[in-house]
Amino acid sequence: MTESDPIIYAYRLRGDGSAEQLDSDFSMSEQGDPIWVHLDAVSEISGEWLKRETNLGSYVIDGLLAEESRPRCDVYPHGVLIVLRGVNLNPGSDPEDMVSIRIWMDHERVITTRFRRIMAVEDIVDQLEKGQGPTSTSHLVARLGFQLTERMGPFISQIDEEISELEDVLIAADHEQNIDFRETRSELLRLRRLTIALRRFLAPQRIALATLAGVERNWISPSVMGRLREVSDRVTRITEDLDEARERCVVIYDELSGRMSHRMERTMYLLTVVATIMLPLGFLTGLLGINVAGIPGAESKSAFWVVCTLMGVLVAAEVWFFRKKKWI
């Protein structure tokens, strides 16, 4: 493929798990085994290629090249348009910024488009090159959905482990007073925002896959429909896991906020007690420090120590009184 060619991959499925890689000058109108074409939607000539090489309607082409699109499944008399999402596992990328793949499927071809590299597509290519790939167009789409979903598994497990670590930190906070609540809360908010962002796309993806699994076409075999239902169920479980993770984040956040409020209240209470104890002492020292004649003990060398002793006795009396009232 040349640099100006919008085609990233082009294969003719042989029906036995292997595929023949096609040259850039192939024609979509050629009769034979089903064809899979993977296009770069960023290329400016992808739209021209689709209009020239396919008989797809403008609404389908627009759907294949739309930059922003939520997961969905649109069923037409001659084919199906599917939009799916996956976790962004590209190096240096934010997993929260999910990648998307747009798919047109009919009985003789699959056309997929992407704006960013998708690992699941490369998984399918590796399977085809090893002779273990999909055998039909519907099987190919089912494999794509399966690979996208399976690659989410480790990332969802990582989120669950990070939330568990935060729960452990919260438990340790009962015994350790040097826990950084601000850092913990910041990490918790990040995880909560991540689960919300992932669920925002996975919830409609579950519906899209369920819709696809219910499409009745003679070129979609029962085994493929069963696989699509399995993928839909897997996405449902992931969505439920995200709901549980989000609820755990809410519980941890509430508990963390309560701990922070309790710590602040204890600190303010301690400062109030200290200020209350020091208030009479401040009054006495202020009274004895006024610069007027007639202050008792002004001429006595032992007056300073007498005053210090009296203030010590006063502090002891205040502490005894506070303890008796159970204020401290």
Output phi, psi for 80, to 5 deg: -135, 135
Total Cβ atoms within 10 A of residue 107: 14
Residue 96 CA, chain-centre distance (Å), reads 5
Residue 36 CA, chain-centre distance (Å), reads 31
- In this structure, are residues 17 and 133 in contact, taking their beta carbons and an 8 Å threshold? yes
pLDDT value at position 176? 52
pLDDT value at position 178? 60
pLDDT value at position 64? 92
> What is d(CA 325, CA 322) in angstroms, rounded to the nearest whole number?
5
Radius of gyration of the chain (CA): 35
> What is d(CA 253, CA 161) in angstroms, rounded to the nearest whole number?
16
Output phi, psi for 256, to 5 deg: -65, -40
Sign of the dihedral through C-alpha 291, 296, 299, 303: negative
pLDDT value at position 279? 85
pLDDT value at position 1? 46
The closest of 202, 206, 215, 211 to 242, measured between CA atoms, is 202
> What is d(CA 285, CA 282) in angstroms, rounded to the nearest whole number?
5
Sign of the dihedral through C-alpha 120, 121, 125, 127: positive
- 145: number of CA atoms within 13 Å, CB side? 35
pLDDT tens digits, 174-197: 655 566 677 888 888 889 888 988
Q: What is the DSSP string of 232-256?
A: HHHHHHHHHHHHHHHHHHHHHHHHH
Helix (H) or strand (E) run with residue 295 in it: none
pLDDT tens, residue order, the chain (328 aa): 444 678 999 999 998 999 999 887 787 777 778 999 999 999 889 999 999 888 888 999 999 998 878 899 999 988 999 999 988 877 777 766 788 999 999 989 999 999 988 999 999 999 999 999 999 999 999 999 999 999 888 888 899 999 988 888 777 766 555 666 778 888 888 898 889 888 888 889 989 999 998 888 888 888 999 999 999 999 999 999 999 999 998 888 888 777 778 778 888 888 888 888 888 888 888 877 777 777 777 777 788 888 888 888 888 888 888 888 777 7
